[in-house]
A and B are shown apart, each in its own frame.
Chain A
Amino acid sequence: MWSMESFKARHATRWFTRLVLATVCCFGLQTSALATAIDPGPRGGPPGAGGTFAVLDNTNPAANTADLDFFAQALLRFQEVDSVSGTIENGNGLGPIFNHNSCAACHIQPAIGGSSPAANPQVVNNFAHLDGATNAADLTKFLSATGPIREVRFIQNPNGSLDGGVHAIFSIAGRTDAPGCTGTILPQPNFDQAIASNNAIFRIPISLFGDGLVDMTSDETLQLNLSATASQRAALGIGGRFNSSGNDGTITHFGWKAQNKSLLLFAGEAYNVEQGVTNELFGSDRFPPGSSESTVAACTFNGVPEDATNTLNPQALTVGGVPNPNLNTIHGTASEMSSDVINFAAFVRLLAPPTPVTSTSSQLNGQKLFSSIGCALCHSPTLVTENVKGGANGPFPALQGVTFHPYSDFAIHHMGANLDDGVSQGLAGPDEFRTAPLWGLGQRLFFLHDGRTSNLLTAIADHADSDGKCSTLQSSENFYINFGAGDINFQPYSIIQFCGGSEANAVIAAFNALQPSQQQDVLNFLRSL
């Protein structure tokens, strides 16, 4: 659990360490010949990810077959495309505002379940005008055909209070399946204005590979893992704490700021926020703030929730693509009778982690350097799932007691002004982010939470900031913390300056101090993941 005393001590150490390392950092940034180390780019060849585990239940062959079938069906559901009322595409409930119309369209690189693809379907599939849609806003400042899929969040509301929420890019206005809902009554947000006033931040789809293993890792393991390196981290000015559920205090693992407690919640929220589909977890249609009753009425087409448990089998096709004999009957598989969000969560839960190809001497050397310079203090190479779900008594017993290599501690860390996005989620402040799991990095195309770069070197560099830089901290929490080096008063909706810098500064300085060939080894190692 988070401790005020350790927090104070850690920050006191951090200030001191940072002072010592500041010169090193600057020196490193200025003199190391970074230009000679080059990001080798996304690893080619077949996807090192996608699909499920070879075995899901090692105690019962019948259950194992059923589990594998469940995954196969859930995979199909993950690819379902939504239209407003299921009249154009089979999926039902798109909008009124949305960022995309299918889970798999965003989570696709290098395989279904991954992250943003090379060609942004938001642009190349002409989402703004799909099926008659009349979205007219200029999106070119943050979306491009070769850039990442993005969602937009606004930092503040027009009245200066904190926002932080997702402002969907598209609306259903003008679509043939949204008669009466026009762009006049349901306009897109003014993205240009938000960007010009630095009020807009971006997030890209997060890779989902292996998340089931993360879900099956106990809080105790995560805490022990974090504690094990506490002194080493402190020496480098690295803190780290877990985001947690405000209800039960347990660790939350998922999302860029580790804001989501479970895969099911994550799936339910994403379905609602990204696609606009109301479901049994998030049952309210999302309209832009301040929408009038008449707008809501004119642009509401379905009963809620739009996605729910099925009492009659709705699936027209079986996994094999053949007509489903149980269509519209009370008979069906767990997948068929379950809601979309249950299927999405099941798909992610059973989605295997990426397979690394670390084998060359350069990659293996890079792996050692990755640890020796301190990257691995946050990007933890190894964790183990436990029999926390009941072992053979629980679901998917083959996934219990599994050693896996996420390269993340799933804790949140202050990342300084370069990454600060002004948005607080749960305990995570504006510059705090979950340590991004690096598994599968070798085939990822866009890096950091906003997909700002495709270059690993830039991504690494942006982990650091200079100590003189301050982050804007905003908090909706109401508590008071003594930092040792200065008091910070967290008040509801307060906006304050935090001048702590990035916890990664020392490590990035160490990276910058490496010989170019060593840096290249690190890059090669990362691209082998």
Chain B
Amino acid sequence: MRTCLLVVVLGFKGESACGPTPEIQTEFQRAAAIAAAVADPFGAFDKAAPFLAVRDRHPDDLFAHERYQDAVNEYGIEGHLRLLHKQYKELDFKHPGDPKYHYLYLRTLAGRGTFGAIQGLYDLLANHPDFAPAHRTLAEIYSTDMFRDADKEKLERERYLAACPGGTFSHWPPPIPDPSPLIDQAALGFAEGASPEGVIAMTIQGLKEFEWRSQRVRAFDWYTPDFKRQDARDLRAQYWKAWPIQVRCYRKAGKTEDADQLLRLMNYRASLLLNAPEPDYWNALQTLARLYAEANQTERGNEKVAQMRKYLDAHPDRARAEEVEAIRKVIEPRS
């Protein structure tokens, strides 16, 4: 009975209200294969495009819309998510009073302004109590770490399954890309004598991939502020791994001006870490001191050693004192 009502409410033309038709399911599989073949790690549009094509072939199919939305959520960052929201806001305005399009609009808020999505979905259900997909989406939201509510999840899950026996649920949030291996590979490549230009390009690509990963975290409210802070810190650590590689590459390529310019930037950026959690600031000073020592830039190296000692005065640490001494010994015989 509930299913019948749902079909009436959704106004579907023959397709199941509880899941995609087998034909569309097949199209999803094909689209997923195309998306998986996109090599560009930042190719959110290219990866979502096959799902957009399915949606455009089935413009009235709820599940085609949902799958396209899921693809953008899976591959996109701020700009793509904002565009998705805009697209569904327009569709919602074009279909006033249609719960399907309002639901799809609200669904673009999930993970972006999730409290707003929850409120909107409840409002929608108040007017359309048999709109089963809203129950499913609520259950999915309540299953996430950030918005976990076991009782509400169970309730919404039951309501959905009552309307759609055997219905399935998605796992939210979508995955975060794995950390890029490129910066470590670049370090290895440099040690093995790879061309400086190639190594620098690899570090840049690696940093972009880390930035992209971070964007995939930052754009969503699925993650706690602490998680985001740690992610930002991890990202910064990658920069501090990549920059020394770049400095060494520039030097190896005879581009000492480029090396010195990057070192100047690194010095400025190190100063911003003074209040960062341990050991970020210390590590930055140490990195700079070693880079100067490597190039016999004694004066600069001694400046860093002095800064390290000053920091040690405020934060005594025997092991670090020995590190400073070791760096000083590298610098001093040449001075």
Contact = CB atoms under 8 A, between A and B. Distances in A.
Interface in A84-102: 85-90
Contacts of B209: 179
Interface string A381-411: 0000000000000000000000000000000
A84 to B, nearest CB: 8
A317 interface: yes
Contacts of B45: 294, 297-298
Main SS class of interface, B: helix
Interface in B28-68: 41-45
B204 A180 contact: no
Contacts of B42: 179-180, 298
A176 B79 contact: no
Nearest to B83: A297
Pick from B79, B208, B209, B236 the residue with the most CB of A within 10 Å: B79
A296 B86 CA distance: 12
Given A87-B235, A88-B239, A179 B215 contact: yes
Nearest to B258: A126
B235 A180 contact: no
A377 interface: no
Contact of A299 (B79, B212, B218): B79
Nearest to B261: A126
B80 A297 contact: yes
Contacts, number: 82
Given A87-B236, A300-B78, A179 B211 contact: yes
Contacts of B41: 179
Contacts of A177: 207, 211
B127 interface: no
A96 to B, nearest CB: 9
A301 interface: yes
B79 A316 contact: no
B329 interface: no
A176 B274 contact: no
Contacts of B44: 180, 297-298
Nearest to A125: B261
Contact of A300 (B79, B212, B236): B79
A492 interface: no
A176 B207 contact: yes
A297 B87 CA distance: 12
B17 interface: no
A327 interface: yes
A248 interface: no
Interface residues of B, number: 32
Interface in B170-190: none
A125 B239 CA distance: 19
Contacts of B272: 89-90, 316
A301 B215 contact: yes
Nearest to A298: B79
A323 B239 contact: no
Given A89-B272, A126-B261, A179 B212 contact: yes
Given A87-B236, A132-B204, A297-B82, A323 B275 contact: yes
A6 B268 CA distance: 56
Contacts of A88: 239, 269
A302 B208 CA distance: 16
B214 interface: yes
A487 interface: no
B77 interface: yes
Interface string B253-283: 0000000010000001100101110000000
Contacts of A86: 232
Contacts of B232: 86-87
A205 B156 CA distance: 59
B126 to A, nearest CB: 29
A4 to B, nearest CB: 46
A303 B42 CA distance: 19
Contacts of B212: 179-180
A176 B265 CA distance: 15
Pick from A180, A302, A321 the residue with the most CB of B within 10 Å: A180
A33 B149 CA distance: 87
B264 to A, nearest CB: 9
Contacts of A302: 78
A177 B208 CA distance: 6
A475 B218 CA distance: 44
Interface in A270-320: 293-294, 296-303, 316-317
Contact of A301 (B78, B268, B276): B78
A296 B83 contact: yes
Interface in A74-92: 81, 85-90
Contacts of A321: 274
A218 interface: no
Nearest to B215: A301
A132 B79 contact: no
Contacts of B276: 316
Contacts of B239: 87-88, 176
A331 B291 CA distance: 39
Interface in B68-117: 76-80, 82-83
B79 A301 contact: yes
Given A126-B261, A176-B211, A297 B79 contact: yes
A324 interface: yes
A85 B78 CA distance: 11
A107 B236 CA distance: 29
Nearest to B81: A297
A293 B83 CA distance: 7
11 contacts: A85-B215, A88-B239, A179-B208, A180-B212, A296-B79, A296-B83, A300-B79, A301-B77, A301-B79, A316-B274, A316-B275
Given A132-B204, A301-B215, A303-B78, 15 more contacts: A85-B214, A87-B214, A89-B269, A89-B272, A126-B261, A132-B208, A179-B209, A180-B44, A180-B212, A294-B83, A297-B83, A301-B79, A316-B276, A317-B274, A321-B274
CB-CB nearest 8 A-B residue pairs: A300-B79, A180-B42, A297-B79, A316-B275, A323-B275, A179-B208, A176-B207, A179-B212
